[in-house]
Amino acid sequence: MERFAAAIAHEANNALGIVGGAVEIAVSQHPRDPWLERALDGVGRMKLLAAELRRYGRGAGEASPLRFARCDLAMLVRAAMIESRRALPSGLEQTLTSNMTTATIRGNAIEVAELVGILLTNARDAVSEQYGAACGAGRITVRLDHWDGGGYILAVADNGAGVPAEALQHVFEPFFTTKQPQPGRGLGLASAFAIVRDHGGSIDLQSTPGAGCTVRAWFPPAPEGAAC
């Protein structure tokens, strides 16, 4: 059953990648089409389901488990920030406050890059919704530091509207959102939680309503001499 679930997830991911790309292009050309918005939301939900099926298969002895190796978190963060700048509204400021040249963890580079992309996208959306076209007032700050207890802490902060106190305990639940329903809403932080969990880390969200959010993800360091 576990291998069957993993096989379904693999095939679904391939198809969803193609369908999702086509729908995203259509949405960019017709941004207010309600049918396309529902279609993109459905693709996002299916991607999350496929990811959970894949993780179920790995946890129960899937023949092809998630491959871990020594990878550089600092490099992945910088690369994700360069990629995300293509989608930033004009005037929105995105900065990295870190002097770290390397931050070696044992993980899956593809999933870690996905995590950073999720956090940056979440921050961008929060700022865009808060300031609209006046994104010159918006700021996204990314920080990567050593953690006092060992490992590394990645923090992505924005100055959007923030999250109400009563919603904080739900932000990592699948499909939960404090915003108006839009394509993919409520999926990003649930996926981020799963990725960090799979890497033996932890993640939290701190927020002051009206002053923005900070999402912090902690990763343990790569053990000395650990096999790739």
Phi, psi of 77 (to 5 degrees): -65, -45
- Measured distance CA(66)–CA(58) in Å, rounded: 7
pLDDT tens digit sequence for 133-159: 556 678 999 999 998 888 999 999 999
Average per-residue pLDDT in the chain?
A: 80
pLDDT tens digit sequence for 208-218: 888 899 999 99
pLDDT of residue 53: 65
More confident residue, 127 or 134: 127
More confident residue, 52 or 41: 41
- Measured distance CA(111)–CA(177) in Å, rounded: 23
pLDDT exceeds 50 at position 227: no
Contact present, 20 and 58 (Cβ < 8 Å)? no
Strand order through the sheet with 152-158: 93-97, 139-146, 152-158, 212-219, 202-208
Q: Radius of gyration (Cα) for the chain, nearest Å?
A: 18
Question: What does CATH list as the number for 68-228?
Answer: 3.30.565.10
- Measured distance CA(63)–CA(2) in Å, rounded: 10
Q: How many other C-beta atoms lie within 10 A of the C-beta of residue 145?
A: 14
Buried/exposed 27-62: b ≥16 CB within 10 Å, e otherwise: beeeeeeeebbebbbbbbebbbebbbbbbebbeeeb
Lowest mean pLDDT, pick from 38-47, 66-75, 181-190, 202-211: 181-190
pLDDT tens digit sequence for 65-103: 678 999 999 999 999 999 888 777 777 889 999 888 899
Phi, psi of 209 (to 5 degrees): -50, 130
pLDDT of residue 228: 42
DSSP assignment string, 42-66:
HHHHHHHHHHHHHHHHHHTT-SSPP
User: Strands, DSSP E only, in the chain?
Assistant: 69-72, 93-97, 104-107, 139-146, 152-158, 202-208, 212-219
Q: Confirm whether pTM is higher than 0.75.
A: no
List the domain boundaries for the chain. 1-65, 68-228
Q: How many other C-beta atoms lie within 10 A of the C-beta of residue 186?
A: 21
pLDDT exceeds 60 at position 167: yes
Query: Torsion angle, CA of 100/102/106/112, rounded to 10 degrees?
Result: 70
CB neighbour list of residue 180: distance below 8 Å, 6 or more residues apart: none
120 to each of 12, 27, 51, 86, 125, how far by Cα in Å? 25, 20, 20, 12, 9
